[in-house]
Structure 1
Amino acid sequence: MASWPDFWRGLARDRRGNTLMLVAGMMLPLVAFVGSGIDVSRGYMAKTRLQAACDAGVLAARKVSGTGLTDDGRKVGDEYFNANFGQSSFGSRDVDFTLSQNGSEIIGSASAKLDTAVMRVFGQHVMALGANCRAMQEITNTDVMFVLDTTGSMKDVNPGDSVSRFDAMKEAVTRFHGELEAVKPNGAVIRYGFMPYTSTVNVGYSLDQDWMVDKATYQSRRIDKHVSLDGKTQYVRNDVKNGGSRSERLESTYPAVYNDGGESGLSYYSCPTRPAGNATVKKTLISSREELVLTPRPGTRTIETFNEVINGTTYRAVLNGTTCEVRATDNSGYDHTFEFVTEPVGLTEITWEYAPITYDVSKLRGLTSGGSIKAKINNDGSNREIPWYGCIEERQTVAAESYDPLPAEALDLQIDLVPNPSDPATQWRPSLPGLVFMRPNVDPVTTTAKYANLVDHWSGQRFCPAPAQKLQPMDGVQLEDYLDTLVATGATHHDIGLLWGARFLSPTGLFRAENRGDQVRHLIFMTDGYISVGVKEYDAYGHPFLDRRRQANSAETPTAAMLNQEVENRFLALCKATRARGMTIWIVAFGTELTPALAQCSGGDKAFQAANSVELQAAFRKIAGKISKLRLTK
C-alpha cells in the first residue's frame, strides 16, 4: 500500500477529468458569443428591412406628393413603410417613421427598438435600430405634346364638380406644368406643345408654304344663270310713340323642335309654338299717298300712315341654341304712329349649280395668321368673303378593311411624310366651311333653291378649334396665356388629333429640324367623350355625306356608325405607329368611360379614367411622376 505522500504526488500527475473543468470554465463566454451572434443576426435582418421600408415609404411619398410634401404623400408614405415594416416586425417595438422635405428631396427617418433574446443575460436588453433615406425626382430633356379634346361637351360639368370640364382640364395642365418645372435641374430643357382637336385641327399657320395646295375642290355652288324680275318690298319707317307703355319679359322656355331639313338635307331647330296672347289692337289709317321713284326700280311708292293703340300681352318665340325662349310683351295703352311703305324692287332669280367646285386658294399658303378668299356664292350672286382660321383638310386617303400595316396609298396617315410641292396628293388643303353647301343627295344638282351654307347653318367657325402650338419651353404665364385661347366647340374625332400630335412631336418628320435631339418624347391624349362623326358635319375630310373620302364604296350612303368605326380603326393604327417612333402615349378619359380603344392606344399601363376634377389632377400628377425620374439619393 502506497504512502500518503505517494498518493498526493500521483494525484497531482493524474490529468483525467480536466476536460470537464475546462468546459465548465468556458461555458459562460461561449454562451455570450453564441447569444450575441443570434441577436446581432436578428438586428441585422431587422435593420435591413427597416432601411427597405424607409426607402419604399420615401419613394411613395415623393411620387404622390408632386412638387411638395403633401398630406396625401405623407399618408401613402406611411402606408408603404408600414406594409414593409410593421410595429412588431422581428419582435420590434416603438417603430417610428417621419417624413420631411428639403427642396425637391423628401427625407425619411425610421427607428425601432429590438429586445435581445440572449444578450439580456449579460445586461444588453435592447438594440436601437435606425435608417435614413432620401428620394427626389429629376427630369432630363423632355418634350410633352398635349392632344386635348376641346369639343362642345367640354363645357359640361361632371357630377361632384363646380367647374366645367374645360376649366378642370386647364387647371390640371397648369399643375402638371408646375410639377415638371419644379424638378427640372439646371441645364435641362422641357418643351410643351398643344394640339387641340375637334373634327379637325388648326395647324395651317404652322405649315410651310409648299405643304399647302394651290387649288382645292369643295362641295360648293356657282351661278348657272340669272333671270331679272319685277318685285315689291314693304317696310315700316318713322315709328313714333305717342303714349302708354310697353315692356318685354321672359315668360318661359322649352326644348326646340329638331327638323331633318327636308329637301335641303340640313337639319335645324325651330320654335313652332307660343301662347296666343290677349292683346287688343285698334289700328286706324290716317293717310295714304303715292310718289314716283326711279331707284332701286322705276315705279310707284305707296306710303300709308297708321295710328295703332295696343292693350294686353303679345308673345313671340325666340330660338337660342336648342332652347326656345317665349318672350312676352305687355302693352298698356301703347299708342304709336308709323308709316307702312310699299315700293318696287328689281329681283334677280338665280339658278344655282350645286356640285364639287375647284377654287384658287394659293393666297392662303404660307400665312401665319388670318387670310380669306372671295367667291360669288351669296344668294344675290355677289361676292362673299370666306375667312380662313387655320384649320385644314387632310391630304389623299383611302378606305381599307385594315390599317395594320398602314396602306401606302393613305398619305394622310403617314406621320413623317413631307409633302412634295409638285404633288397635290401629298399636300394639305385649307378648311373653308364657308364655301360648302348641302344638297339633297350626292349627285350635282341645278336648281333655284337656296340651300344653306354650312357656316350660316352652323354659326360661324364651329368646325375649327384654337391654333395648335409647336413644342417650345414655356413659363407659367405663357402656359396660362395659351390655355386661355382654347374654346370648346365641335365634334370628337380622335384620329385627327392624335395624327397631328404625333406629327408635331416626331423627330423624323415635318419638324425634324426643330425636334432633333436626345429628348424623351411624351404624348398626353385627353378626351371627354366617345368618337362622334356627324354625317352632315364638315370635318378634316370634307363633307362626309357629299365627299365620302373615307368610304371604300362611294355609292353607299354613309352612316354615323360606319364613320365612327372608321375613325376608331384609324386611331388605333396611328397609336401603334406613334409608339413605334419611340413616343410614349398617355391616355386620360375625363368624365367618360375608358373605352377598350383608348386603353389599347397607350400600349400598356398608361391609361387613366377620371370622373371629376380631383381624379383628373391625380391622373396628371401620376403621369408627371412617371415622366420625371424618381430615384433614391441615399
Structure 2
Amino acid sequence: MLTMRGATKDMLQFLFGRKAQTAGFLSRLGRNQAANTLAIMAFALIPLIAVAGSAMDMARLYYVKSRLQQACDAGALAGRKFMTGQTLDSASTARANEFFNNNFRDGMFGAETTSFNPSVLSDGQVRGVAATTVPMTLSAVIGARPITLNVSCQAKLEIPNLDIMFVLDTTGSMGDTNPGDTVSKIAGLRTAVLSFYDTIEAAKRATTRVRYGFVPYSSTVNVGTLLRPEWLVDRWTYQSRVQNGSTPGGSTTRTTDNSYSGWKNTSGSVVTTTSSSRGESCPTPANENFSSPTVEKLISQDGTTKVYEQTQTINGTQYSSSFSGGLCTITKRVWNNYVQTRTRTEKPCTRNCTTTSNPTYSWIYKPVEFPVSGFKAVGTDGAVVGGVVTYPMFSDTQGDVTVTWNAANACIEERQTVRQTTYPSIPEDAYDMNIDMVPDPARPETQWKPFLPRLVYTRKGMNNWYYPDWPSNSNTQGLWNYYDNAACPTAARRLNGITRSDLNTYLNSLQPRGYTYHDIGFVWGARLLSKSGIFAGDNTSAPNGGDIDRHIIFMTDGGTDTRVGVYDAYGLSALDRRRTSTASTPSDSDQNTIVANRLGALCTEAKRKGMTVWVIAYGTSLSTMLSNCANEGKAFQANDAGALNDSFRNIATQIARLRVSK
C-alpha cells in the first residue's frame, strides 16, 4: 500500500519531472505564490479520491447487503412454504435455493462466492444464512480489500383462528387408482388430509383456535345425528308398498322323489374370461344368442324305479357380474355346442311327501306415509341419536320389518325445493338451498327427513319406473338391496378440534360408494361452517376474541353423475320428481344439469357469506363448473396422489399466512 508521503512524492515527480529535487522545488514554491494552487490540488487529490471511493463503495455494500437480505428472506419463505410438516426435505431445500438464486445471483454487482444455507429449527421455522464477497472499486486505490457480507433470516407460518370444513367426494370412483399411482384415490386423499393437518398444527400458536369439520358426500349426506329433534319431521312419505290381500297357503302331496347325477361334458367347448374395473355401478351385459335346451329319455326301469338321461346343448354368449367394494367384475362365457349329460332317477316318495306353502301376498306399490318420530331419541348433547322402529305387516311374509337409523346410516332427505333448471340466484322457497334457515317445527316443509332405504321399493324394476300406483303380486326388490343406489356415506363431523390419531381413524372410515351429487355435499359444508345458521351458537366467535377465518375445501374426483334410479336426498328421483317436471321420468342428463347449476349458486352464496372456497379436482379435469366455484386463484387440479398432497399443502400454507419472523 502506498503511504500518503510516497504518493505525494510520486505525484510531484509526475507533475514536474523526475529530475526535480524536492528541496529545491519547495524553496521555489515558497517564493512563487502562483504555483500554490496547483500544489494544494495535487496534495488534496489523493484524500479526495479515497473519500469519494469510500462513499461509493459504502453505498454499493449497503445495496448489495439489502438485496442479499431480500434473497435470504425469499429463500427461507419458499423453504417453509414447501416443507412437508416439520421436515425440510431435499425438495423444499431445492425450492429455497431456487427462490434465493432468483433474487440474488453470483456475479451481481461484482459479488463473488455467494452462498445460501437453509435449515429447520426445532419449532418448525426455516432459518437461512447467506454470504457473498464484494470487491472494492475506487477504494482499492488506497488499498481497500474485498469485503464479505453475511446475513441471516427466518420464516414461519402463523395462523389466525380457523374453521376449516372439508367437503369430500367419497363416491364409488374414489376406489379407483389414478394412472401412475400405486394407491387408490381414497388412500391418497387420507394421506393428503393428514399432511394438511400436520402443516396447520405445526403453525398453530397456543392461543389460536383451529377447528376441523367434515362432510363426506355421494347422493346424500350422513348428518342426522348432528341435528336437534325439532329439526326432523314426525311423519314422511316414501315410495313404498302396502299389502293388498293374500292367497292362503296350502299343502301338496307328491308321489315321487327325484335324484340327479352331476353333469358330464361329452363334446363342445366353453371359454371363460373376466374383466374388472372400478366404478359406481356394475351393469350386466345382455346375453348374446344364448340357448340351453334340454331333452330327456328313459334309459332303464326296475319295478317302480325309472332312470332317465338328460342331454343339454348350450350355445351363445352368457354374462354375469359381481360388485364388491366399488370393484365391478364381469364374467363372460362363450359356449360352442357344449353338450353335457346327467341322469335323473325317479322313485316312489316314502317320507316327507307333503309340502305346506305359506300365504301369497299381493301388493300396491305407491307413496306411503310412515311415522318416523321413533328415530328422534336425544343424546346428552341435545342432538338426535336415532332409534329402531318396527313396521308390522309390511314385508312379503307376516313378519315385522325393523328399521334402524343411527350414526352409522343417519342420512337425510332434504327439505322443500323447487322445480327449475337454472339458478341465477337461490329461490326464496328453495329451503333445501337456504344455508342459514333454522327449521320451524310447525312447518314440516322446513324440516329434514330420515333417509330409509328399507322402506323404499322399485316398481316393475330398476329400469321400468311405472309411475301410477301399481297393484301386483310381484315381490320387487327394495332399494336397500342395491349397493350404490341407496348409498349413505360416513357420518359428517361438526367443527371441533381433533387429534391426529382420531383424524386418522376417521379418514380410514371413509369408504367409496354411490354417485356424485355435488350440491348436497356443498350445502351441508356451508351449513356446518356458517356463523349465522343452525350452529350459529358455536360458530360466531372464538374464546380468544379474535377473528375467525372460514374455509371450505371442496374435493371431488369427477363431474356430476346422478341416476334417476338412485334413492337420494330428494327421494326416489324416477318417481318422486321433486326437482324435475312431473310430466315424465327425468333423464340422468336433466338431473346432472340441475345439480351443476345448483352447485354454482351455492358456491356464490358461500363466498358472499365470507367463506373462502378452495376446490381440488382430483384425477379429473378442472372444469369450468369447479373452477368458478372457488375463490379467485384457489382452484387446483391434481392428477395423482402426489399432486393432491401438494395441493392440500399449498392450501395450508396460504391459509397459515406465511411470514418472515427475523
Whether the TM-score (by the shorter chain) exceeds 0.5 is yes
Residue 34 of structure 1 pairs with residue 62 of structure 2: no
Contact 1:57 1:81 in 2 (8 A): yes
Match of 1:540 among 569, 589, 594: 569
Gaps of 5+ in 2: 1-26, 265-269, 335-339, 378-383, 543-547
Number of the residue aligned with 2:604: 576
Residue 557 of structure 1 pairs with residue 585 of structure 2: yes
Whole-angstrom distance in 1 between the partners of 2:255 and 2:366: 36
Residue 502 of structure 1 pairs with residue 502 of structure 2: no
Residue 469 of structure 1 pairs with residue 493 of structure 2: yes
Match of 2:648 among 614, 620, 628: 620
In structure 2, the CA distance between the partners of 1:238 and 1:522, relative to structure 1 (3 Å rule), is: farther
Number of the residue aligned with 2:452: 432
* Paired letter, 1:358: E
Contact 2:285 2:319 in 1 (8 A): no
Number of the residue aligned with 1:66: 84
Contact 1:532 1:564 in 2 (8 A): yes
Number of the residue aligned with 2:186: 166
In structure 2, the CA distance between the partners of 1:442 and 1:507, relative to structure 1 (3 Å rule), is: farther
Residue 351 of structure 1 pairs with residue 362 of structure 2: yes
Q: How much does 1:83 deviate?
A: 0.7
Whole-angstrom distance in 2 between the partners of 1:240 and 1:397: 60
In structure 2, the CA distance between the partners of 1:324 and 1:113, relative to structure 1 (3 Å rule), is: closer
Number of the residue aligned with 2:557: 528
Q: How much does 1:399 deviate?
A: 2.5
Contact 1:190 1:473 in 2 (8 A): yes
Whole-angstrom distance in 2 between the partners of 1:284 and 1:457: 47
Match of 2:146 among 122, 126, 131: 126
Q: How much does 1:12 deviate?
A: 6.4
Q: How much does 1:41 deviate?
A: 1.6
Q: TM-score, normalised by structure 1?
A: 0.84
In structure 2, the CA distance between the partners of 1:461 and 1:479, relative to structure 1 (3 Å rule), is: farther
1:551-590 Cα deviation digits (max 9, x unpaired)? 2x32143111111010011111111111222221111111
In structure 2, the CA distance between the partners of 1:338 and 1:402, relative to structure 1 (3 Å rule), is: same
Number of the residue aligned with 1:82: 101
Whole-angstrom distance in 2 between the partners of 1:512 and 1:334: 73
**Correspondence list, 1:234-313, <5 A:** 252-254=272-274, 269=284, 272=287
Residue 516 of structure 1 pairs with residue 540 of structure 2: yes
In structure 2, the CA distance between the partners of 1:336 and 1:355, relative to structure 1 (3 Å rule), is: closer
Contact 2:577 2:586 in 1 (8 A): yes
1:341-377 Cα deviation digits (max 9, x unpaired)? 7644446443322221111111012442553442544
Contact 1:278 1:314 in 2 (8 A): no
Matched residue SS, 1:168: helix
Q: How much does 1:196 deviate?
A: 0.6
Contact 1:271 1:318 in 2 (8 A): no
Whole-angstrom distance in 2 between the partners of 1:21 and 1:576: 82
Match of 2:388 among 371, 377, 380: 371
In structure 2, the CA distance between the partners of 1:337 and 1:516, relative to structure 1 (3 Å rule), is: farther
Residue 386 of structure 1 pairs with residue 397 of structure 2: no
Whole-angstrom distance in 2 between the partners of 1:182 and 1:567: 38
1:373-417 Cα deviation digits (max 9, x unpaired)? 425442346432233320000000012354333111000011111
Contact 1:172 1:617 in 2 (8 A): yes
Matched residue SS, 2:173: helix
Residue 145 of structure 1 pairs with residue 165 of structure 2: yes
Contact 2:431 2:446 in 1 (8 A): yes
Match of 2:121 among 98, 102, 108: 102
Residue 448 of structure 1 pairs with residue 457 of structure 2: no
* Paired letter, 1:526: M
In structure 2, the CA distance between the partners of 1:313 and 1:149, relative to structure 1 (3 Å rule), is: same
Gaps of 5+ in 1: 1-8, 245-249, 257-265, 289-304
- Size of the aligned set, in residue pairs, is 596
In structure 2, the CA distance between the partners of 1:318 and 1:74, relative to structure 1 (3 Å rule), is: same
In structure 2, the CA distance between the partners of 1:336 and 1:93, relative to structure 1 (3 Å rule), is: farther
1:70-103 Cα deviation digits (max 9, x unpaired)? 2111111111111111111111110111111112
Contact 1:435 1:453 in 2 (8 A): no
1:280-323 Cα deviation digits (max 9, x unpaired)? 999988898xxxxxxxxxxxxxxxx9999999999997642354
Matched residue SS, 2:187: helix
* Paired letter, 1:147: V
In structure 2, the CA distance between the partners of 1:118 and 1:284, relative to structure 1 (3 Å rule), is: farther
Whole-angstrom distance in 1 between the partners of 2:299 and 2:73: 91
Contact 2:284 2:320 in 1 (8 A): no
Matched residue SS, 1:153: helix
Whole-angstrom distance in 1 between the partners of 2:222 and 2:181: 30
Whole-angstrom distance in 2 between the partners of 1:494 and 1:372: 31
Number of the residue aligned with 2:37: 19
Whole-angstrom distance in 2 between the partners of 1:395 and 1:629: 39
Number of the residue aligned with 1:247: none
Whole-angstrom distance in 2 between the partners of 1:193 and 1:233: 64
* Paired letter, 2:211: R
Number of the residue aligned with 1:260: none
Match of 1:587 among 599, 615, 620: 615
Match of 2:430 among 410, 414, 420: 410
Q: How much does 1:64 deviate?
A: 0.5
Number of the residue aligned with 1:199: 219
In structure 2, the CA distance between the partners of 1:408 and 1:520, relative to structure 1 (3 Å rule), is: same
1:130-179 Cα deviation digits (max 9, x unpaired)? 22110011223222211111110011111111111111111111222122
In structure 2, the CA distance between the partners of 1:527 and 1:236, relative to structure 1 (3 Å rule), is: farther
Number of the residue aligned with 2:371: 360
Whole-angstrom distance in 1 between the partners of 2:139 and 2:274: 86
